[in-house]
Amino acid sequence: MPRKKEALRKKAKNKTGKIIPKKGKQESPKTAEKETKAVAAKKGFQLVRGMKDIVPKEGGYWRLVSTKAAAIAEAYEFVYAETPIVEQAALFVRSLGKGTDVVEKEMYFFEDHDGNRLCLRPEMTAAFARAYISHGMHSLSQPVKLWNIGPLFRHDRPQAGRYRQFHQFNCESFGVRDPAIDAELVSVAYHFLKDLGIASLVHMNSIGNTEDRGRYVVELTAYLRTKRSYLSELSKKRITKNPLRVLDSKEEQDQPIIEEAPQIVDWLSDESKKHFMQVLEYLDALNIPYALRPTLVRGLDYYTDTVFEIYEAEGETSSEPAQALGGGGRYDLLVEQLGGQPTPGAGFALGLERVISLVRKQYQKEDGTGGLPEQRSPFFFAHLGEQARQRALPLIEDLRQDGILVHHNVAKPALKSQLELANKLHVSHAVILGHKELQDGTIIIRDMASGIQEIIDQKKLRRELRKILEKQAAS
């Protein structure tokens, strides 16, 4: 390469300050590492836009919400299952539909080293349907009820409550078409939120079967064409591409036209109407608050009949348009569409970032103080000297196996700083293992309030700690 060209190449830097490598020539890993270090030293690594760390102060909320999700899913006999984060891109193109926002604008596509066109899963339903077919689950007793919590990826415009990696609590029920199944799913979603102290309102609709919808779309398109000049630019484009999505528009100017639009319920077949009425009767019997929302169509193509979304009950009072906490519905054609045997199905997904932000509000004050009440152990296990430190971990583990948890910090060698920590944690008793105790097979229990110490046989430690726990529980 002539010198001038080489100099120009070196000058040409991309945004990260990296020199663009020569065409066809790969950077050596060492050069890459050096440059990466240089970038990191200059401005530090940044969180990728739209992604979110779960930091320690949020950890407790994630644990609480996951535990509640597992408890309710398992109470309703959903079985935990998981699929890979990476799937064939075609799986979602086929099931969610080409014209949908998720496929058209938001999917993370990539090609691997073998030239396979892959993606990061943008939702769970199609992935579970693929797994249902791949593992011949039609031969199991139906319905096959699966649940999970996992990360999903959509290259959405980041804003509050909208991330590019987010998490859903997902429940799917494959194999049976029955209104009781739809109602059970709504009930699980509703009661999960209720268990977390969130009052919610379920928006319900039915979009019928493919024929019902086909006839309705003809009617809707004709209506929208007559109102074309009053519609927003986005909705104008959607009239031909996907007229049902016009009903989802958040644009102010579209609202009066949507209100006057023909309603899909009037196009439902008798069977679909009956199914929907029965779902609503079940919800009445369950005392679940719901509102009929005739314009609810959901943004994914696989739905048939029942569709629903769940909102915070008081959410609509704020100036921002309310974001759904979750959504779901029936998808009786999906499994067959993906190459499986005809298999009805229904499910829901709740967005955990949105749910957790509401749970946090309950515990945190406006100035950011407060938080989840922690369940703390009343004991601190302290050690003095290197040999005692070695013995501490096995003893702590023995206690744990017996159901007794103790605070400790084996990284702090000085007894004084360990006891300071014990004070900070407001424990009632410190268990102290020193050099002498190690030799004698004894251990000290110190009452932190009175300072009174008792030396006991190490073998009696569990019994003594249990006694203290019982006394504290009784008082």
Inter-axis angle of helices 89-96 and 125-134, to 10 degrees? 110
Of 349-368, binders to ligand HAM (CB under 6 A) are 349, 351, 353-354
| Cis preceding linkage at 143, omega within 30 | yes
Of 83-142, binders to ligand HAM (CB under 6 A) are 123-125
* Measured distance CA(268)–CA(475) in Å, rounded: 63
User: Of all helices (H) and strands (E), which one includes residue 167?
Assistant: strand 165-174
**Residue in 52, 138, 162, 293 binding ligand HAM, rule: CB under 6 A:** 162
Query: Is 325 near ligand HAM (CB under 6 A)?
Result: yes
- Span from 39-47, 320-328, 387-395, 458-466 in contact with ligand HAM (CB under 6 A): 320-328
Of 34-93, binders to ligand HAM (CB under 6 A) are none
* Measured distance CA(153)–CA(50) in Å, rounded: 10
**Residue in 92, 348, 380, 381 binding ligand HAM, rule: CB under 6 A:** 348
β-pairing verdict for 79-80 and 144-153: parallel
Q: How far is the CB of 101 from ligand HAM (least distance, A)?
A: 9
**Residue in 175, 208, 243, 328 binding ligand HAM, rule: CB under 6 A:** 328
SS3 call for 71: helix
Q: What is the largest CA-CA distance in the chain?
A: 94
Q: How far is the CB of 235 from ligand HAM (least distance, A)?
A: 20
Cβ proximity to ligand HAM, 200 vs 235, nearer residue: 200
CB environment 413-440: b (16+ within 10 A), e (fewer): eebeebbebbeeeebbbbbbbbeebbee
Binding mask 372-401 for ligand HAM (x = CB under 6 A): ------------------------------
- By beta carbon distance, the residue nearest ligand HAM is 351
Phi, then psi, of 255 in degrees rounded to 5? -60, -45
Give how many residues touch ligand HAM by CB under 6 A.
Answer: 24
Q: How far is the CB of 322 from ligand HAM (least distance, A)?
A: 11
**Residues 280 and 83 sit within 8 Å (Cβ to Cβ):** no
Residues that bind ligand HAM (CB under 6 A): 123-125, 154, 156, 161-163, 166, 168, 170, 172, 324-329, 347-349, 351, 353-354
